[in-house]
Amino acid sequence: MPLTCALSLNLIINAFGLVQITLLTKHIDFKTQLKVSVIATVISGTIGVPMAFNGFGVWSLVAQSLSSNLFRTALLWLFNTWRPSLAFSFVALRGMFAFGSKLLCAKLIATIFNNIYLIVIGKMFSAADLGFYSRAKGLQQLPVANISGIVSRVTFPVFSSVQDDKPRLKRGVRKALLTLAMLNFPLMIGMGVVARPLVMVLLTEKWGPCIPYLQSLCVVGMLYPVHLINLNVLTAQGRSDLFFRLEILKKILVVIAISVTYRWGIIAMIYGQIVTSCLGYFLNAYYTGKMLDYPITEQIQDLIPSLALAGIMGLGVYALKYAHIANQLALLSAQIITGIVLYAVLCYIFRISSFMDVIEMVKSKLLNIR
């Protein structure tokens, strides 16, 4: 109880920095946010680590967490010139509430349904099955969650800044989709291919039953960041009403999928997730197509090259399985290095536009350093 009370102070501390973070994100100022996070992490670490060495136990973690958020909030106020005033506008509140309330409801529904598979599996299957699924989901979410977080934070303010220039917005959406496909497709396909040595090295053999779950969930993860791009178009256009309706419709599809597939086991339920993910992508992309003249057929044509090259990379990495490398760590290392090199070479040979953009950006940075 005392730990919960202490950690709950983070809610109050973080609340004072929310507007500052939102303004920095709106102005696409991630450099300041990075600076703030690094400084706060270093300072809080100098508080938490000595406390841990001096026997404060779990309270050292509490102190580290509280100090990190406290210094981060203070630095946000220091580096940002905005200050609140005592004026209150009901007109502004009415406009923001009309937009934000629908997004809030949609996010609440999404949060509930993010855990619905864990609840159903926990009720219908054994605790061991739930543990294996949960562990597989956690591994799959590591790259997906990081990519999705970056996508949401970057694309929304960028799309909002050009919301009235439809041709420019379409170019931005297309570039974001191509970049995401170039990154996420090989990550998910690669993780699915190296699932066995990855689990054996990181989690040991006792977690072996989660391997097929991880491989199937990687298919689900391939489309998730692409979903976000299309949904950010809706929010950037101020259509939170469509966002909310789509969330309701997609969650109905999830309920139908669970009710149909649970009787055949967890793998069948994951196949249901794959189907609902594909259907959800079609629903999200439909409105993007109408708003920006960027139909789903054109989106798929843009995504196919990266998907094809990631598939070829996956086959090359899978072939190493027959090299009879007994040590799992050595096999995993060889597969990862092979995958990175092979995919980079393929992207360069076929001149994948998003990959070439990254190459040019790296070259310009190196020239500036020189």
How large is the average pLDDT for residues 302-318? 93
CA-closest candidate to residue 133, choices 145, 116, 151, 110: 116
Percent of the chain residues topping a pLDDT of 90? 28
The neighbour count for residue 168, using CB atoms within 10 Å, is: 13
Round to whole Å and give the CA distance between 304 and 226.
13
Residue 370 scores a pLDDT above 70: no
Local structure of 170: helix, strand or coil: helix
* Number of domains within the chain: 2
Q: What is the pLDDT of residue 12?
A: 86
Q: Does residue 134 lie within any of the structural domains?
A: yes
Q: Are the CB atoms for 250 and 227 separated by under 8 Å?
A: no
User: The domain containing residue 342 runs over which residues?
Assistant: 107-369
333 Cβ contact partners less than 8 Å away, ≥ 6 residues apart? none
Residues 197 and 266 in one domain: yes
pLDDT at 93 over 90: no
Same domain, 229 and 332: yes
Q: Which of 176-185, 210-219, 278-287, 353-362 has the highest mean pLDDT?
A: 210-219
Compute the distance between CA of residue 325 and CA of residue 273 in angstroms, rounded to an integer: 34
How far apart (Å, rounded) are the C-alpha atoms in residues 249 and 283? 9
Label residue 34 by pLDDT band (50, 70, 90): confident
pLDDT on residue 306: 92
Q: Are residue 52 and residue 168 in the same domain, yes or no? A: no
55 φ/ψ sector (left φ>0, alpha ψ -120 to 50, else beta) = left
Kindly state whether residue 262 falls inside one of the protein's structural domains.
yes
Per-residue pLDDT band at 243 (split at 50, 70, 90) = confident
> How far apart (Å, rounded) are the C-alpha atoms in residues 108 and 96?
18
- Determine the distance from the C-alpha atom of residue 217 to the mean position of all C-alpha atoms in its chain, rounded to a whole number: 14
Q: Taking 80 as the threshold, does the pLDDT of residue 285 lie above it?
A: yes
Domain co-membership, 117 together with 74: no
Reported confidence tier of residue 290, pLDDT bands at 50, 70, 90:
confident
Q: Say how far apart CA 341 and CA 322 lie, in whole Å.
A: 19
Task: Report the pLDDT value the prediction gives residue 57, as an integer from 0 to 100.
Answer: 80
User: Where does a domain end: 47, 67, 82?
Assistant: 82
Is residue 91 pLDDT above 80, yes or no?
A: no
Q: Is the pLDDT of residue 163 over 80?
A: no
Chain-wide mean pLDDT for the chain?
85
Together in a domain, 30 and 173: no
Q: Is the pLDDT of residue 345 over 80?
A: yes
pLDDT (average), residues 105-134: 86
Measured between alpha carbons, how far is 117 from 127 in angstroms, rounded to an integer?
13
Given CA atoms 58, 62, 63, 65 in this order, what sign does their dihedral have?
Answer: positive
Does 32 have pLDDT greater than 90? Answer: no
Is the full-model pTM beyond 0.95? Answer: no
Tokens 């799992």 belong to residue: 328
In a domain, 115, yes or no: yes
Given a cut of 70, whether residue 46 has pLDDT beyond it is yes
Residues 120 and 203 both lie in one domain: yes
Alpha helices by DSSP H, listed for the chain, are: 2-7, 9-15, 18-26, 30-53, 58-79, 90-114, 116-124, 127-161, 166-193, 195-202, 211-236, 240-261, 266-292, 296-319, 328-349, 353-369
- Sorted by sequence, the CB contacts under 8 Å of residue 172 that are 6+ apart come out as 155, 158, 159, 162
Q: Given a cut of 90, is residue 224 above it in pLDDT? A: no
More confident residue, 285 or 3: 285
| pLDDT above 90 for 199 | yes
* Average pLDDT over every residue of 79-95: 76
- Residue 154 vs residue 134, higher pLDDT: 134
Angle among Cα 173, 247, 220 to the nearest 5 degrees reads: 70
Same domain, 347 and 253: yes
Q: Are residues 209 and 297 in the same domain?
A: yes
Highest-scoring range by mean pLDDT, 69-78, 113-122, 270-279, 322-331: 270-279
Whole-number CA gyration radius for the chain: 23
